[in-house]
Amino acid sequence: MAEEISVPEGSLYIDGEWTPPHSGRRYPLIDPATAEPFAQAADGGAEDIDRAVSAALAAMRERRWLGIDPLERSRVLHRMADGIRAHAQELSEAMVRENGMPLAFAQWLEIPMAADVFDYFSGLVPQVHGETLPFSLPGPQGDYLAFTLREPVGVAGLITPWNFPLLMPAWKLAPALAAGCAAVLKPAPETPRTALLLAAIAAEAGVPPGVINVVTGGDEAGIALVAHPFVPKIAITGETATGAKVMTSAAQRIKRVTLELGGKSPNIIFDDVALDQAVSGALFGVYLNSGQVCQAGSRILVQETIADQFVEALSARVADLHVGPGSDFSSDIGPVVSARQLERVMGYIDTAGAEGARLVAGGRRLRELGQGFFVEPTVFTDVTPSMRIAQEEVFGPVSAVIRFRDEAEALEIANGTSYGLAAGIWTKDLRRALRMARGVQAGTVWLNTYQLLSPTVPFGGYKESGLGRELGPHALDAYLETKTVIADLNEEPFSFF
């Protein structure tokens, strides 16, 4: 068993050192299961971002990371993957305490997937290379050599959310490091310790000082990171409104951006599927991580011929879900992350009822579980496509069942939002599945499954769900520049004058 990592409370991680915030400010971390504070975190600001960027720039200039042999850098990322697995207990305890994630989910999915991301990108480190290209000019044939170099874009500013506090940093740090970048990570204020543990694991694995820096805190740090003149690349996972602000700021210096933003994903169920399988897929699609998932299939589109049966079966399964503290290994649903998120979710539940949706399961705050932020898993039916619950991201354990007649109407409803992150299609008809997959406007389409992701395949959204792709070989491009080199090899170099 690995020796426990020491992360000093209330500290930032800059240039390989644990350091207090410049202002000395700290803020309490609240346990979502109890609504009680359990620790303090450093409230980093613009000065701390500047220190972190300076450390990352120094690491880039001195080639502390890029100067290491590519195969050794690959081994370092592989050791990070091993370190994540070795410290699974500490990581899962931090996540459960910070965002209420059920322990079983943290250990079964979040931690192994994060480790796999580093394993995957460790294999891509030696694959970062240019190519030799043909070259020609008008007139007599000359002797020229043209080739490209692939170089890191520079310091990468990474901003990550609270719902997957280990996996989202992994999605960004792993390709940034594989490309040779140094990084400044600004995690969500609700989940700082998980990010700091990852930085400590990276140091243990051999990542040099200054290559990974973590500044915890709120909006001040995030705004300063996006606006910093020496950060040419920003990658963020967050709300669409936040992504729009990032784009506006980044445009002032023509920064490169990767935006993984909101979603209101449709899970489309045709009447030829096995009902129990479709219900299981819908449950996993909506209620995973208490519904706090960007690609949650919270719009369940059901063909009208089976809609009544489906709603009855789904409601029965939802009633059997165990809601409890994330620390309870038997909990299927933990609390939502904060009092603010609780208010948001309950507000959407109230609005759905007021707009005419029919509540068939759940709908309550579970006060019998104490002061924690627990919401009963909820199902609405008789939902129309124009209702807010069918258009806006709830980010909680709430599903909206919408009926449709045929393929054409299903596609019209599915594409009838400003989002396009993901979609699910359930049918035994292969031709129909492929027609629907081609027609739906979404970055990821699942056929007869939902939520399954792999480090090997790209992930990202259409429309207001984002720009660019994370994971897969495409992710490296976001952190690399292409430099073209053209050499004149003729005895008499080309001259026009």
CATH of the domain at 111: 3.40.605.10
Same domain flag for 249 and 383: no
Give the span between the Cα atoms of 456 and 426, in whole angstroms: 23
The tens digit of pLDDT for each residue in 419-446 reads 999 999 999 999 999 999 999 999 999 9
The tokens describing 141, both together, are: 């044939």
**Active-site positions?**
260, 294
Give the span between the Cα atoms of 462 and 440, in whole angstroms: 10
Same domain flag for 171 and 312: no
With respect to residue 297, please indicate whether it lies within any of the assigned structural domains.
Answer: yes
Give the span between the Cα atoms of 361 and 319, in whole angstroms: 7
Q: State the first-to-last Cα distance of the chain, in angstroms, to the nearest integer.
A: 72
Q: pLDDT class for 492, splitting at 50, 70, 90?
A: confident
Q: pLDDT class for 256, splitting at 50, 70, 90?
A: very high
With respect to residue 344, please indicate whether it lies within any of the assigned structural domains.
Answer: yes
With respect to residue 331, please indicate whether it lies within any of the assigned structural domains.
Answer: yes
Domain tally, the chain = 2
Question: Per-residue pLDDT for 1 more than 70?
Answer: no
Same domain flag for 350 and 399: yes
Average pLDDT, the chain: 96
With respect to residue 5, please indicate whether it lies within any of the assigned structural domains.
Answer: no
Same domain flag for 431 and 469: no
Query: Which residue segment(s) compose the domain that 57 sits in?
Result: 12-261+465-483
Rounded mean pLDDT, 256-275 = 97
DSSP 3-state of 252: coil
Outline where DSSP puts E strands in 397-460: 398-404, 419-420, 422-426, 444-447
Question: Per-residue pLDDT for 28 more than 80?
Answer: yes
